[in-house]
Structure 1
Amino acid sequence: MSTADTPTPGGVDSAYAWLRLGLSMFLATIGGVGMWSVIVVLPSVEAEFGVDRAEASLPYTATMIGFALGNLLIGRFVDRYGVTAPLAIASAALGSGFLLASQAQSLLVFAILQGVLIGFGSAATFGPLLADVSHWFAKRRGLAMAATASGNYFAGAIWPLVLQAVMQDHGWRGAYLFVGTVCLCVLIPVAFLLRRPPPHMMTRGQAQPVREPPPARQIAMSPRVLQGLLVIAGLGCCVAMSMPQVHIVAYCVDLGYGVARGAEMLSLMLAGGIASRLISGVLADRIGGVPTLLIGAVLQCLALLLYIPYDGLASLYLVSLIFGLSQGGIVSSYAIVVREYMPAREAGQRVGLVITATIVGMALGGWMSGWIYDLTASYQAAFLNGIAWNMLNIAVICLVLWRTRTPRPALA
């Protein structure tokens, strides 16, 4: 093995890098509850506050807006100050948000707390962590970033079942009290285990900036244009993605299967998403982020089509698993694409901007699907709407792939 291939002790591709990856996955799993909890309590909130489906979807939309802004703003601070302080502050906001939301006496107050504290706080455990982990890996960067992103899906697979169990005895308010306590007691201490600055800011043992390596891939368009296209693609794919993820529980309630069956389908969907993200990370290390992204987008579109003819209980379990296996790697692939084409020193803000676009898409799609349901009394048109947005996503990705130049040969 050459000197260039030898991992720096405590640096890129080192044992410490893998330990840091494990901690990041754990943080993402706990903090990811902020994105999924409101989906599980949506039917209970709708019933308690006496609102229609579109209004009941507004807290989720507020959560996604806060999550989007958090990814953008916290990412900028991570580029400048490292991940620990922003993560600790955001974790405090997340836990406090759940405690306060458990006492909300109106849908408006509940929605505000979901957006300002829960959504914003949860964001620190997604895009900013992805950007931070990307600095610690070279050979397995795609896998590392996908694994970190999988923490969000671990949260989606685990937390709905936990919340459902707590809600049976203590209602949605008791479940929110429980989650808030867990976040405050766990996230803040673990955040301080990530104090070491990323390798691109330091030389071996010296507090001096190092020479930044060039991006791995080149494209025949400016960074601003590429960033804009990724924003459009992220918006389109996640409007489509939000239909099953946001409304699967409510969809099951409408079909007479109940909240518990819907929560199980959501968990199954996100469990499939974990496998999809890990496979996509390995694939991205081999063929690149953009081709991997295109594969995921096409498979997601095909999976959405399956929801239209099949609404039996067994069929929905199967289709939800297929959907999870199809779309799980899409969002993490956007972050991988940014790191392949953009400078390392801008990773936090650029990853944050693309993740923001995907979350805006989730927020828009979550509300739009509820609105379409209220107009048509059916989710069939909402699925067709998602497919149309997915086609826009595919078209943009094809353009980026077409303008990508041949990658530089790897160094010996």
Structure 2
Amino acid sequence: MNSYQKESIETPYGWVVIFCSLILNTIGLGAPNILFVSLKPIAADLDTLRWVPSFAYSLMMLGAGVGGILMGLWMDRKGIWQPALFGSLMIAFGAFMVSFTEGRWTLWVANGLLIGLLGKSAMIAPLVANGMKWFDRRRGLAVAIIASGQGLAGVIWPPLFQYSNDLFGWRQTFLYFAIFALCVMLPLVWLIRKRPPVQNKQTEIKSTKMIDEPSQGISTWTSQVLLWFAVLCCCSAMAMPVVHLVSYGTDLGHSAAHAARLMSVLMGVAFFSRIAFGMLSDRIGPVVTLLIGSASQATMLLVFAAVDKLFSLYIAAALFGLGFAGIMPCYPLIIRLWFPISQVGWRVAAQYLVAGIGMAIGGSMAGHIFDVTGTYKFAFIGGFAFNVIHLIIVSSLFIRFRKNRTKLQTA
């Protein structure tokens, strides 16, 4: 162990990369948060149904997922500097374009193409994949810190955007966000421009042998397809309250400010929970950690469907944030454990692509269910069904993993 620690690639500058990546991810996630908070006023201003801005979010997530693979390949060839710079510029330009939109197509193109496919795509898988390359002993914590940008964004952006919407309107809010993103993201990209250290081959062989052998016995494609189905189901369920919680709160008669604070509570808890889950995954493994997060998310989806009082909604939001935060950081860690390091980049990006598809399905489906039924309660129940499927998939992976590990230990 001492020899392994001495050969570690970790350096203090790696933490600079991680925390700059965290801030970049947090700012990049400001774009969907404006959409969450502004969903109702956008629909009203454009004189359309709620599914139109919901679909803009779906296009953003789909674009970010597809673009993540392209950005990941770009990063593998040129490093993180170029894709992160390009993505930052596209997020700012997309938000600027939204501020002047006069119809659904401009809204969809700005969010789906500019912010999603060309912008936000550089803030997800590439930052995580690049961050993992700086660490070999505290990889789980490093990934969790970058991924916790979702929680940090949820704390900062909803009340800030709601205040700006009330004061200036949603168009000016998008415009100010574009200016802010341009001024702050570019210096951060410059700080992460260095390439990660090269992994010592002997250390990599030893560490790979220690963690990869228990996963043998499950075919590569079986494992990959199961992971894709798992993330599709969990993200479909996850998107329903994440995208529509602010609207759900106001539909129940609570003020817009209180509804926005529900999202802040959810994401605030998620920020700290995600870091804790990252540390937990280093101790008990990412598959078990994923199972715990999934079970918690499923439970709280039913609670959302059952409660309507403000205090109960705050509790539900906090507990949902506690559980769902532990899900997504587990997937890159599982991929790093089960697949060759040379394939980690595109597999992580592909996993986020399927996650984006799941978020798109869940966000759009909840909007359609509301338009048909006039309530989000049935959407949350549908999300619970998705989550049950996710639990079954993750449980099967865990059982196969344990059986094969026991077989290897007794061999």
**TM-score using structure 2 length:** 0.93
Q: 8 Å contact 1:147–1:277 — kept in the other structure?
A: yes
Tell me what 1:306 maps to.
Answer: 303
Tell me how far 1:384 sits from its aligned partner: 1.0
Superposition RMSD in Å: 2.0
Tell me what 1:397 maps to.
Answer: 394
Tell me how far 1:350 sits from its aligned partner: 0.7
User: Is the aligned partner of 1:106 residue 2:96?
Assistant: no
Tell me how far 1:210 sits from its aligned partner: 8.4
What letter corresponds to residue 87 of structure 2 in structure 1?
A
Q: 8 Å contact 1:35–1:119 — kept in the other structure?
A: no
**2: CA distance between counterparts of 1:99 and 1:275?**
32
Q: 1:150 pairs with 131, 148, 151, which one?
A: 148
Q: 1:233 pairs with 223, 230, 233, which one?
A: 230
Tell me what 1:76 maps to.
Answer: 73
Tell me how far 1:80 sits from its aligned partner: 2.4
User: Is the aligned partner of 1:380 residue 2:377?
Assistant: yes
Tell me how far 1:5 sits from its aligned partner: 1.1
**2: CA distance between counterparts of 1:323 and 1:407?**
34
User: Is the aligned partner of 1:96 residue 2:93?
Assistant: yes
Q: 2:289 pairs with 281, 292, 298, which one?
A: 292
CA pair 76-407 structure 1, distance change in 2 beyond 3 A: farther
What letter corresponds to residue 152 of structure 1 in structure 2?
Q
The alignment of Structure 1 onto Structure 2 pairs a total of residues equal to: 400
Tell me how far 1:3 sits from its aligned partner: 4.1
**2: CA distance between counterparts of 1:241 and 1:367?**
12
**1: CA distance between counterparts of 2:30 and 2:406?**
38
Q: 1:266 pairs with 263, 268, 271, which one?
A: 263
Tell me what 1:30 maps to.
Answer: 27
Superposed counterparts of 1:9-408, under 5 Å: 12-120=9-117, 121-200=119-198, 212-213=204-205, 214=208, 216-217=211-212, 218-404=215-401, 405-406=404-405
**Structure 2 segments unaligned to the other structure (5+ residues):** none
**2: CA distance between counterparts of 1:379 and 1:264?**
18
**1: CA distance between counterparts of 2:383 and 2:367?**
12
**1: CA distance between counterparts of 2:278 and 2:406?**
18
CA pair 262-408 structure 1, distance change in 2 beyond 3 A: farther
1:39-58 CA deviation, whole Å, 9 max, x = no partner?
Answer: 11101101101112223311
Residue identity (%): 34
What letter corresponds to residue 274 of structure 1 in structure 2?
F
1:360-388 CA deviation, whole Å, 9 max, x = no partner?
Answer: 11110011011111221111211110000
Tell me how far 1:324 sits from its aligned partner: 0.5
What letter corresponds to residue 66 of structure 2 in structure 1?
L
Q: 8 Å contact 1:87–1:124 — kept in the other structure?
A: yes
**1: CA distance between counterparts of 2:130 and 2:292?**
26
